[in-house]
A and B are shown apart, each in its own frame.
Chain A
């Protein structure tokens, strides 16, 4: 079973799904098995309609699974083929190139939401739908909690790529940052996913998050990353020997790094460790 039933970024997007397009997700932490079940219900997964049509359900009240992974909320970007408006609900027939499915949106009679919801959506336009997979008898449909017209057409391609990425992550795990050593990576990814200084880490080089720093700070960080990881971190003399240059410049760079929160002192003022 995949340990990525809960993706920490999407874990924050449940219930009502106001996250249009989903957030960039970093390396997902392996969550403890106990959290996974509850987490899945609050997750939001980008999918293709074919994935929804192929999803499986243990019995009629069980959660849906796609490729053995439980799904909570889902989001699709698809073309509206037809709209059927009834008194209590609105049925959109969606086609995204991989298949067709119904999306039902229940409208409250008399609320102002209605005009906004199905006023902006017409046939032969692309929309983004967020909701959950349901079935009525043998027929599957999306119980849509949120629908909106796609304004920027690049979002269609974005959704395709995001769907593929999430599919790969569930199969193979999150992309690792190559410069990270084994056990440290597991800890780092777990903290990094929630860290404020680490918003987008996908594949390519653990140095991305430091890319905005001046060169000397980056070199210090790179050197510290390359050291065998000990609790007391790296001694400032080792850093100075390796980086060279002016001791004051190094000291100032370390201070800047500390202010930003990238490093911290350990056993004394001369030992620095990288925060993750």
Chain B
């Protein structure tokens, strides 16, 4: 089942997963056609290659995608999360995701 693991990341950790599928909860800053600029839970800005026919309707989304480089993600799927989300909480969860104590259950 290793192929279905998508670690949660923020901007700082993106570089560790180049070429892999990750889950990024983020806020849409700017959306320009095929590229969007999003803000990751730790505040860093990343660029996202948006899949065709996807319009980013809500500010907070979760992107499942492959990491192109340390600042770019290519979107495979996108989940709408709504208008309000506590990004500090999201970042705490992301950091704990990578805590070695929980490596067994992640």
A214 contacts the other chain (Cβ, under 8 Å)?
Answer: no
B19 contacts the other chain (Cβ, under 8 Å)?
Answer: no
B4 and A99 within 8 A (CB)? yes
B79 contacts the other chain (Cβ, under 8 Å)?
Answer: yes
Residue in A closest to B81 when the chains form the complex, CB atoms: A153
- Among B5, B82, B90, B102, which residue has its beta carbon within 8 angstroms of that of A97? B5
A97 and B1 within 8 A (CB)? no
CB of A25 to closest CB in B, whole Å:
18
A241 CA to B106 CA, complexed, in Å: 55
- Among A51, A126, A152, A167, which residue has its beta carbon within 8 angstroms of that of B79? A126
Q: Total interface residues on A, using CB and 8 Å?
A: 28
CB of A142 to closest CB in B, whole Å:
15
Q: Which of B1, B7, B23, B85 has the most CB of A within 10 A?
A: B1
Residue in B closest to A154 when the chains form the complex, CB atoms: B86
A48 and B101 within 8 A (CB)? no
B78 contacts the other chain (Cβ, under 8 Å)?
Answer: yes
Residues on B with C-beta less than 8 A from A152 are: 82
Q: Which of A99, A157, A164 has the most CB of B within 10 A?
A: A157
CB of B7 to closest CB in A, whole Å:
7
B8 contacts the other chain (Cβ, under 8 Å)?
Answer: yes
A98 and B5 within 8 A (CB)? yes
B1 and A100 within 8 A (CB)? yes
Q: Total interface residues on B, using CB and 8 Å?
A: 31
CB of A158 to closest CB in B, whole Å:
8
- Among A67, A98, A154, which residue has its beta carbon within 8 angstroms of that of B106? A98
Residues on B with C-beta less than 8 A from A79 are: 62, 64, 79
- CB within 8 Å of B: which of A70-108? 79, 95, 97-100
- Among A100, A125, A161, A167, which residue has its beta carbon within 8 angstroms of that of B93? A161
A156 CA to B79 CA, complexed, in Å: 12
B12 contacts the other chain (Cβ, under 8 Å)?
Answer: no
Residue in B closest to A95 when the chains form the complex, CB atoms: B4
Residues on A with C-beta less than 8 A from B101 are: 168
A250 contacts the other chain (Cβ, under 8 Å)?
Answer: no
CB of B80 to closest CB in A, whole Å:
8
Residue in A closest to B78 when the chains form the complex, CB atoms: A124
CB of B63 to closest CB in A, whole Å:
11
A48 and B105 within 8 A (CB)? yes
Residue in A closest to B89 when the chains form the complex, CB atoms: A157
A152 CA to B81 CA, complexed, in Å: 8
CB of A78 to closest CB in B, whole Å:
11
Q: List 11 A-B contacts (CB under 8 A).
A: A47-B105, A50-B106, A67-B104, A97-B6, A97-B8, A97-B23, A98-B106, A99-B1, A125-B80, A157-B90, A157-B92
Q: When A and B form their complex, which 6 residue pairs have the shortest distance between CB atoms, in order from nearest?
A: A153-B81, A157-B93, A100-B4, A160-B93, A157-B89, A97-B6
- Spell out B's residues near A (CB within 8 Å): 1, 4-8, 23, 25, 60, 62, 64, 77-82, 84-86, 89-90, 92-93, 96-97, 101-102, 104-106
